[in-house]
Chain A
Amino acid sequence: MLPQQVSTGVSQRNVCGIVGLFLKNKALEPKLGALMTGMLATMCERGPDSAGFAVYGHGDPEHVKLTVRAIAPDYDFGPLATELSATLGTPIAITPHDTHAVLTVPARLADAARAAIAARTSKVKLVGVGTRMEIYKEVGRPDQVARRFKLSEMAGSHGVAHTRMATESAVTTSGAHPFSTARDQCLVHNGSLSNHNALRRKLSRSGMTFETENDSEVAAGYLTQRMREGASLGDALEKSLDDLDGFYTFVVGTENGFGVLRDAIACKPAILAETDDYVAFGSEYRALAALPGIEKAKVWEPEPATVYFWERKA
């Protein structure tokens, strides 16, 4: 490889694109997916390798939604629903979305459902669990990924999405963001962490399991661990400034919350916009340029090492 090519490769490291949308106005909720689709499409150039998104849609406390993805591209989810219904002793609703499907199970059977899915790892893999959160991710161009899953038809209160230019681990569906390490929690990341291996070992010793070698999954796991210990998402993000080493802009979703954090050096770009109707995040302003009312929005660059956090009333 020529020296010039080496330097070009280095300068393009860790590009990635992030978008996030948190709606304050309930009237916009049916349009969440459509708005996110437009935002995600503008970020294709920042991350053409894979894309993923989490949408916080309808949910009730009596049920949990398990998003699973099929290992084989043409997998038929029908028999899985029948098998799981038999195993759990109750009818399980399944909603396929291309390579993914959402299983809605009674909350009391969540662990049994997880175990049943874990017993079928050759066929399906668990992507995320939530009362309201659904997660979809695939390799490929982000606009095509959004189309495959019909993101534009999805409704919800908030969502995050990511376009990945891979650096720290391979281009695989598992390596695509968002990463979810606990119920209704997810994280997308632009940057790279330098102490993720040590931190992964530490978190593993305290009982946390990781699905990938990805640095961003460790950041998600770290926040989950802090929240398990009783911290709010805001407090967990605050603490991560001490414990996570590297470059990062994080956008994090919880069942009712939406948080943003940049590291103290703030190499990774970030723009926030807020109106009476929404809070929107983009790696670049371009991602926000088509949102309704953006002309009158408060638009600003989030400060380094400063936690931004919004919460909706449950």
Chain B
Amino acid sequence: MGSRSELLYFAWLNTKVRVGALILALFVILAIVGPLFARHDPNAYVGPPAHPPSSEYWLGTTTFGQDVYSQFVHGLRATFIVGLLGGGIGTLLGVCIGLLAGYRGGMVDEILNMFTNIVLILPTLAVLIIIAAYLTVRGILVESLFIGCTAWPWAARAIRAQTFSLRAREFVDLARMSGRSSWKIMFYEIAPNMLSYLFMTFILQFGGAVLIAATLDFIGLGPTQGISLGLMMNNAVLWAALPLGMWWWLIPPGAAITAIVGALYVMNVGLDEVFNPKLREL
């Protein structure tokens, strides 16, 4: 009937969504295409140390002579991968647990709630340090897994609340009277009605994962190999990039993270208006 295209129309019309999506798209393209233009390996010592941006090294070099541009675009890729994986795992866990707790209620809800609360108050940093102590070699996968497994609680809470309100609706009663099993109802009746909510949850998880990853990398608890934006910032600060005037090392990664996460959050606010007709301005 046009309700889908109507949504897309409003989405495009909404400035916040448009601007946010464009910024994001820019960085995604950079992450995909950028490394193809990187002539050097990100961690290799290839050039004159602490050199400002030039035609040879587009974003200059680090204290050790590494190509900042190469680090930047490879780091972008890593950041996006963590965001997708970590955010994805977090969303999946949050949705499954939230749906189950919200729909079944009773004892199931109590137990899941307890579990959610425990994970919520876990001192993630402390746990990570302990894990870091045991896993001397860590990759992006482990990092994503860790982020996903600790970031889901608030998503579960939100989904649970939504499920509670949806489960009382009459079309759910109708499905029950049609003899549908609980699982079918949860995934085929309730979840599709929360699509906008699920979408926004994923966006927030994505943004959150990027931020957490950057933080972890910054304090040195990230992957032991490879490069990421957070790690770049870590190194830059460690080697006193700012006092020494090497702005080209510190600013790009920081600005990129701010821009990406900012764009995601702004898109989220805009999407809220898109999905909720009452918030729209006509």
Chains A and B come from one and the same complex: no
A: residues with CB less than 8 A from B are: none
